[in-house]
Amino acid sequence: MEEPTLTLSELLAEAAAAAGLGDRAEAERLYRRATERSPGNSAAWLGLAAAVDGAEEKRACYEQVLAINPNNGEARAALQRLARLATPEQASAIQTSLSNAAALVAADPTRYAPAGSPSTGNGSDDHEQGPVAAQQMLFCANHPETETTLRCNRCGKPVCVKCVELTDVGYRCKDCIRQQQNTFFNAETKDYFVLALVSFILAAVAAPIIGYVISIFGFFGWILAFVLGPTVGGTAATIIRRSIGRRRGRYMGVIAIIAILLGTLLGVLIGAAMLGFFPNLLALGIFAFLALSTIYATLR
């Protein structure tokens, strides 16, 4: 039960904290309580939209924001993104909502704040919170000539639609997303050299063998390639990861692919020179694509 002394701003702060910690269930509960307490608070609806899972419920929340303030840039951008992922019928309904909001702004442009997220409230304590106060027009931190109404909900930096991504906890700038991802990357410099060497050797050894096996089946070697590609790729990825102590790096997938391609080229040339055969290029290409896709997905 909500404490009597808990203000709306405190309720929103607790909800935002829960979202930041990844507790979406608690964030959703608190944001729902905030929308029930103040149905005219756009910040509460924006937070609830980020906390819920279903696309339809997200859409309803963002449309509620536009009903409060048709000039809210975050809600417009989110609805446009949902429209791209929706069915034609749903996309049409979303576009109708966006068009209606645009018409309201065009009919009375002075009524809505340029930044588009003021809280109209219902006579309670809506106006005591900074996050829902009217703002002046902002310019993207990365593109100073581009006007925007969006801010990263982690660092607060103004960003345009090209520099922001909609995450499970709201809009985040790409810098904050990269910083979060960096916590998972613990590879050392030497790991990249080990990874490249192991990948090159594996490819140089496996290429002539795989090429020879596939060539035995002639034109129908592509069938075998479909079977062997993911299996060999998964095995190679496991060996490569173990060689670097299962550490992860941002560019490991790219480096492994380059090393494997070079090793494969060497292996094919060795096979042609020493074993006297030239592999089925179609089948080998299918095999390489499937194997490399599996390796890249595992190492990235």
Higher pLDDT, 176 or 110: 176
Is this prediction's pTM over 0.85? no
- Phi then psi for residue 72, to 5 deg, are -75, 110
- Does 136 score more than 50 pLDDT? no
Residues of the chain with CATH 1.25.40.10: 8-131
- Does 135 score more than 70 pLDDT? no
Q: Residue 54 in contact with residue 38, Cβ under 8 Å?
A: no
List the CATH code of the domain at 8-131.
1.25.40.10
- Phi then psi for residue 186, to 5 deg, are -125, 20
Nearest to 210 by CA among 240, 236, 238, 242: 236
> Running DSSP on this structure, what letter comes out for residue 156?
-
- pLDDT one-digit tens code per residue, 29-77: 888 888 888 888 888 888 888 888 888 888 888 888 888 888 887 788 8
CA atoms within 13 A on the CB side of 27: 24
- Does 280 score more than 80 pLDDT? no
Would the CA dihedral through 56, 57, 58, 60 be positive or negative? positive
